[in-house]
């Protein structure tokens, strides 16, 4: 029995309707992320018989699997992030799939984040989607979810969270204070201020080049030109 045969036996749900709407998804360059609940490994299934969504989408694009042992391999390397774009899927043997996974790991090394960035990621929970946060920090969506769930990079009360106004103060030109002065003012390491000023952290806020006339001072009031 093919994946499509098993899918047709499932009673209609929001998940099955979503799938049917995306059987002719036209965009090859973008990942299509499954919007419903996924299994522990990040892959999605539907129905009581647990039809694997990525295998179903692979069959829609490429026909039934050549053998039961064949994997539905992701050319994008984002299977565990829930990508089900049928253009990103091909039938491959287990050995071929393992080789492709290794190639993805070589081409896309894991991004390193700082404790401050982990704190920022936790603070963004509920303010934007996990995939939006992942794109900002150059990590996977699953890593964002793990951080926000407290399973990795557990919260450290010593990590200071900066407000938008504080970030804009640090980035305002001409510079109001040196890195050392800002670090002393906020009670953090100079490197923390340097990452904020250069845009390597708090990427969700606009870049610098904001004049002093539009930047709040420490009392919260706006500065005005002399």
pLDDT tens digit string along 109-152? 455 677 778 878 887 888 888 888 887 777 888 888 888 888 88
User: What is the longest distance spanned by two Cα atoms in the chain?
Assistant: 78
Beta bridge partners of 71: 92
pTM flag (> 0.75): no
Q: Please, which pLDDT band fits residue 14 given cuts at 50, 70 and 90?
A: very high
Place of tokens 């490429």: 62
The pLDDT, as a whole number, for residue 159 is: 62
Q: Please state, as a whole number, how many other Cβ atoms lie within 10 Å of the Cβ of residue 200.
A: 13
Residues 6+ apart with CB under 8 A from 45: 39, 51, 52, 53
In tens, the pLDDT along 58-72 reads 999 999 999 999 999
Q: CA distances (Å), 106 to each of 13, 97, 100, 220, in order?
A: 39, 14, 10, 47
In tens, the pLDDT along 179-208 reads 888 988 887 778 888 889 988 888 877 765
* 8 Å CB contact between 179 and 197: yes
String of DSSP letters for 63-91:
-S-SSTT-EEEESSS-GGGTB--GGGEEE
Q: 3-107 maps to which CATH number? A: 3.90.520
* 8 Å CB contact between 133 and 124: yes
Q: How far apart are CA 50 and CA 92, in angstroms?
A: 21
> CA nearest 127: which of 115, 116, 136?
136
Backbone angles phi, psi at 62, to 5 degrees: -120, 5
Q: How far apart are CA 59 and CA 56, in angstroms?
A: 5
């Amino acid at each position: 029995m093919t994946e499509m045969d098993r899918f047709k036996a499932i009673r209609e749900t929001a998940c099955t309707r979503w799938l049917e709407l995306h059987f002719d998804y036209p965009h090859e360059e973008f990942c299509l992320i499954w919007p419903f609940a996924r299994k522990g490994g990040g892959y999605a299934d539907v129905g009581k018989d647990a039809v694997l969504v990525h295998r179903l989408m692979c069959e829609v694009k490429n026909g039934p699997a050549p053998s039961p042992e064949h994997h539905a391999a992701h050319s994008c390397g984002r299977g565990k992030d829930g990508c089900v774009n049928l253009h990103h899927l091909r039938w491959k043997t287990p050995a071929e799939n393992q080789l492709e996974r290794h190639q993805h790991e070589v081409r896309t090394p894991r991004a390193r984040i700082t404790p401050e960035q982990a704190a920022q990621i936790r603070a963004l929970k509920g303010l934007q989607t996990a995939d939006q946060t992942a794109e900002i920090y150059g990590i996977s969506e699953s890593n964002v979810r793990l951080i926000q769930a407290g399973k990795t990079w557990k919260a450290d009360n010593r990590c200071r969270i900066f407000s938008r106004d504080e970030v804009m103060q640090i980035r305002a030109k001409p510079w109001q204070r040196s890195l050392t002065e800002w670090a002393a003012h906020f009670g953090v390491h100079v490197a923390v201020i340097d990452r904020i000023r250069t845009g390597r952290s708090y990427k969700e806020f606009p870049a610098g080049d904001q004049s002093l006339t539009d930047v709040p001072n420490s009392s919260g009031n706006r500065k005005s030109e002399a």
